[in-house]
Amino acid sequence: MTTQERGATYTEVFASGEFRVLFGSFTLLVAGDQVKMLALSALVYARTGSPGLSAAAYMLGFLPYAVGATFLLSLADRIRPRALMIAGELVRVVTCLLIAFAGLSVWAMLALVLVTGLFSPVFGAARIALLPDLLPGDAFVLGRSVLTVTAAGAQIGGLAVGGGILAATGPSGALAATAALSALAAVVLRFGLPDFPARGAEAGPPGERTEDGGLPAGEAEGGEVRTEQARGRGAVWETLRVNRVLLADARIRGLLLAQWLPVTFVAGGEAMLVPYLGSTAGYALAAASVGLAAGSFVVGRLVSPSGRERLAFPMAVASGLPLLVFAFQPGLGGAALLVLLATVASTSYELGLQRWFVEAVPEPVRGQAFGLASAGMMSGQALGGVLVGVAAELTSPHMAIVLAGAATVCCSLALHRSLRPEPS
């Protein structure tokens, strides 16, 4: 069996001590963020009595991703990854303690979360871009799968634990607990992860490719000088420039859109579960998290690397099909099953794109490329909720979910070239 046909194993993935450090710190990060946003939402509601502001506070952590990805992502390749990740944890510590104990007004708290959130995609990009270095070959894809499963479990666990801490200590105590988790993660990173050099320090910016996928000779020879010039222009200028170059590459652009668009509408459909199911929507949302974990585990571990890639296109199309069944207005059980199937398919097709994306992106800007992909997914899910919400205003919640499923299928069909293996 060839390397391409033999998938990596969890034993191989967790044999890397550096990955275990990333895994542990990532678990603390996701769980802590859930507790933080839950506590912030409760604190805003206690101060204002406004359900709208409370809901806005809970979603506030997702809003800065688009701005941070547009203007700051080059930092992920210009700063040493360990230092960047530790800085992210310390920013979270300070933010939580200020919100909990500094006596800030509600608007000052929200502004603080927005401003510090601008750097979240940078911190996340540094973490994900390090994975291919720690886990070569198919182990990288399985590592991504592990983090996806962990994110789903930590979100559920974080909400459950956060609810208990919130009930026992109040919002300030829950925020202090989040600060403690982030401080612990910073210590784990500092003493468990090697101090890798900044990714962009050894090579120049991306450019057009030769037929064998490499950079042209002129680009390779002058790349280092142009990188120093780009640094002199600042992080914002370099982020905009590299984003423009990445999006100008047809292969990279197609893979980015394939990671963004189908998921946008699947998430938009899920956003309608609360108005569709009312107080029982939590069960269906939990089913979505189960589907996320199940798809990552089954396809990541039990399907061969080439099999995952062949499944990318059909599974992307399949992720929208269960949402079409909402035309028949299923009850809670049926809705939960349909959402579970949609998220299984959605997660499965994304795993099939991971190796292609790593190979398509120039290594010196891998951090920015992964950050752009992640930020686009986060921003797209928020946009999907807005678009499907507008559709629900014009039709009904169940028909809005149907339209989300149709949009998912149409996007997948339109992106079929990016979702299929390139001819050998």
293 is a domain residue? yes
207 is a domain residue? no
Q: Assess whether 166 and 272 both reside in one domain.
A: no
Instruction: Look at residue 61 in the predicted model and tell me its pLDDT.
Output: 62
When mean pLDDT is compared over 64-78, 379-393, 409-423, the highest value belongs to 409-423
Mean pLDDT of 31-45: 80
Q: Assess whether 62 and 160 both reside in one domain.
A: yes
Q: Assess whether 31 and 155 both reside in one domain.
A: yes
Q: Assess whether 184 and 313 both reside in one domain.
A: no
Q: Assess whether 275 and 178 both reside in one domain.
A: no
Name the band, by pLDDT with cuts 50, 70 and 90, for residue 267.
confident
2 is a domain residue? no
> What sections of 195-249 are H helices per DSSP?
217-233, 235-248
198 is a domain residue? no
Give, as one character, the DSSP assignment of residue 279: G
Say which range, 83-92, 147-156, 297-306, 383-392, has the weakest mean pLDDT: 147-156
Name the band, by pLDDT with cuts 50, 70 and 90, for residue 224.
very low
- The total domain count for the chain is 2
Count the Cβ atoms, other than its own, within 10 Å of residue 225: 10
pLDDT at 205 over 70: no
**Dihedral pair phi/psi, residue 264, rounded to 5°:** -55, -45
Mean pLDDT of 370-384: 85
Q: Assess whether 151 and 261 both reside in one domain.
A: no
Q: Which two tokens stand for residue 168?
A: 């026992």
Say which range, 155-169, 243-257, 353-367, has the weakest mean pLDDT: 155-169
Greater confidence (246 vs 217) lies with 246
Tokens 């678009």: give the residue.
Answer: 387
Instruction: Look at residue 169 in the predicted model and tell me its pLDDT.
Output: 85
Last-in-domain residue among 152, 170, 192? 192
pLDDT at 255 over 70: yes
Residue among 411, 290, 410, 372 at smallest CA distance from 339: 290
Q: Assess whether 287 and 354 both reside in one domain.
A: yes
358 is a domain residue? yes
pLDDT at 319 over 90: yes
Mean pLDDT of 258-271: 91
Q: Assess whether 164 and 289 both reside in one domain.
A: no
Query: Which residue type occupies 334?
Result: G
Q: What is the extent of the structural domain holding 270? A: 249-424
Q: Assess whether 145 and 267 both reside in one domain.
A: no
Instruction: Look at residue 215 in the predicted model and tell me its pLDDT.
Output: 40
3-state secondary structure of 233: helix
Torsion sign across C-alpha atoms 127, 129, 132, 138: positive
Torsion sign across C-alpha atoms 255, 256, 259, 264: negative
Last-in-domain residue among 177, 192, 207? 192
Say which range, 4-8, 214-218, 351-355, has the weakest mean pLDDT: 214-218
Give, as one character, the DSSP assignment of residue 201: G
Name the band, by pLDDT with cuts 50, 70 and 90, for residue 52.
low
Greater confidence (51 vs 116) lies with 116
244 is a domain residue? no
Instruction: Look at residue 211 in the predicted model and tell me its pLDDT.
Output: 43
Q: Assess whether 181 and 269 both reside in one domain.
A: no
> What percent of the chain is modeled with pLDDT above 70?
85
pLDDT digit string, tens, across residues 347-369: 999 999 999 999 999 988 998 99
Q: What is the rounded distance in angstroms from the CA atom of residue 136 to the CA atom of residue 75?
A: 24
**Dihedral pair phi/psi, residue 418, rounded to 5°:** -75, -20
Instruction: Look at residue 217 in the predicted model and tell me its pLDDT.
Output: 35
Instruction: Look at residue 213 in the predicted model and tell me its pLDDT.
Output: 42
Determine contact, residues 343/56, Cβ cutoff 8 Å.
no
pTM over 0.95: no
CATH number at residue 82: 1.20.1250.20
C-alpha distance from residue 359 to each of 137, 147, 213 (Å): 10, 20, 9
Q: Assess whether 342 and 268 both reside in one domain.
A: yes
pLDDT at 413 over 50: yes
226 is a domain residue? no
Name the band, by pLDDT with cuts 50, 70 and 90, for residue 233.
low
165 is a domain residue? yes
> What percent of the chain is modeled with pLDDT above 90?
39
Q: Assess whether 143 and 20 both reside in one domain.
A: yes
Q: What is the rounded distance in angstroms from the CA atom of residue 155 to the CA atom of residue 30?
A: 6
